[in-house]
Structure 1
Amino acid sequence: MSQATLYLRELEETDIPEILGWFDGEVGRLAHGMQEGITADQLRPDPARHRGVRVGVVPGEGVVGVFNWIETPGTGSFFIGIVVPPGRVGSGYGAMVVELGIGLLFDQMRAHRVELRAAAYNRHVMGMLKAGFMTLEGVHRDTIFVDGRYESTVVASMLEHEYRQLLADGRMLPGERCVDDVDLKRAHRALNQVLGSSRVTTSWGQAVEAATA
């Protein structure tokens, strides 16, 4: 599986009815024991509340996951969440959506810290944490009431330098690029030509002329 087969895009209104239907049954239970589901307003991005959303899409299959986040303004900290449709739980799509989503936050939104919380009985997220991509910070005891008993919440995080190291080691997919590498190199070459051109006037050149006049 690669970025050629799965990509992130913004949530569209036509996605919402399908996604809301995911929260019946297992998906709702894995989402912190949620039994009542969520509303369309809770799913939509809300800049006023610093809440963002992207959906993971596989060509020919449609939406296979939702990645959302809430930013703590001024801190570079983001709390993230992931949901996949009932038929895709355990498929590996969720892990890839998380990787691309984390890359989006670190590479495009200047994240310093990303935090993930999951119910202790969510074996899929526990399996992802076992891979060692995120640092386990702790366990909040008895925070979720489900099936007549209390369950705990597991808290894990990733810092920017840890993300960069995972990329360097080839252990994690990079986020999607806004500027193509080929275009970037062309732009840099063009800038070098501009700087070396005698026909181009520069502010610092004018300053030197004024100072030596």
Structure 2
Amino acid sequence: MRRLTDTDSAIAYSTDLLRSDRIYLREVRDEDLGQFTRWWNDPATLTLQQSTARPVPEGATVDRFREWTRTMTLQDFGLAVVRASDDTLIGQAGLKLEQYGRSAEFVIVLGPEYTSQGYGTEAVRLMLRFGFAELGLHRIELWVWAYNTRAIAAYRSAGFIEEGRRRDVAFHNGQYCDEVIMSVLENEWRRSAERQQDSAS
């Protein structure tokens, strides 16, 4: 990773920290919360986000996202995912920090119309960089339903490793489903980031 040696290198680091070629991460605004709620209750995402597929009242969902995306505390960092080409809001990503152990849980919601286009993988990589390079985390984990194969592929591409399963914890369509636990450690992320940097140069 490039060291901060002068003003220009510090500016370059902060400019690129939350930005990739196609997306950037910014603060969550009040006007974003309604869109988050619509995505959360979209029939296409119900079984991907919830253990029981049911719409949640708008007020409760807005309150949930407002709580998740508080960036003024040291416990939760929630950011909006925005397409760089036209400043369109396409999702939300966050880290829920644990008090001890320098670890956090990663969460993400993308609008169904923006999935399967590589945006999710880019958002995951940006949040990992933010968590490890800026927040000094040691471990980032996530939980994902086993049938959410697209998300699992994106997480693996970003460096997450499956470390276990909670068996038969969700029930949809008359059948039980596993929840996959994945994580990535800071040294694993750093090695992966260095390889990506070397291949790009």
Instruction: Give the shorter-chain TM-score range.
Output: 0.7 to 0.9
Report what 1:122 is aligned to.
148
Quote the sequence identity (%).
25
What is the Cα deviation at residue 116 of structure 1?
1.3
1:25 correspondence with 2:43? yes
1:121-200 alignment runs, 5 A limit: 121-131=147-157, 133-170=159-196
> For structure 1, which segment, 130-139 or 73-82, has the greater mean C-alpha deviation from structure 2 after superposition?
130-139
Report what 2:138 is aligned to.
112
What is the Cα deviation at residue 158 of structure 1?
0.5
2:118 alignment partner AA:
G
Match of 1:12 among 24, 29, 37: 29
Length-normalised TM-score, structure 2: 0.77
1:57 correspondence with 2:82? yes
Match of 2:104 among 78, 88, 97: 78
CA RMSD between the two structures: 2.2
**d(CA) in 2 for partners of 1:113, 1:132:** 14
Q: How many residues align?
A: 171
Deviations 1:15-60 (A, max 9, x none): 1101110122122221144533461121122466922201111131
Contact 2:132 2:138 in 1 (8 A): yes
**d(CA) in 2 for partners of 1:128, 1:88:** 14
When residues 28 and 61 of structure 1 are mapped into structure 2, their CA distance, relative to the original with a 3 A threshold, is: farther
Report what 1:187 is aligned to.
none
1:5 alignment partner AA:
R
**d(CA) in 2 for partners of 1:140, 1:165:** 29
When residues 167 and 157 of structure 1 are mapped into structure 2, their CA distance, relative to the original with a 3 A threshold, is: same
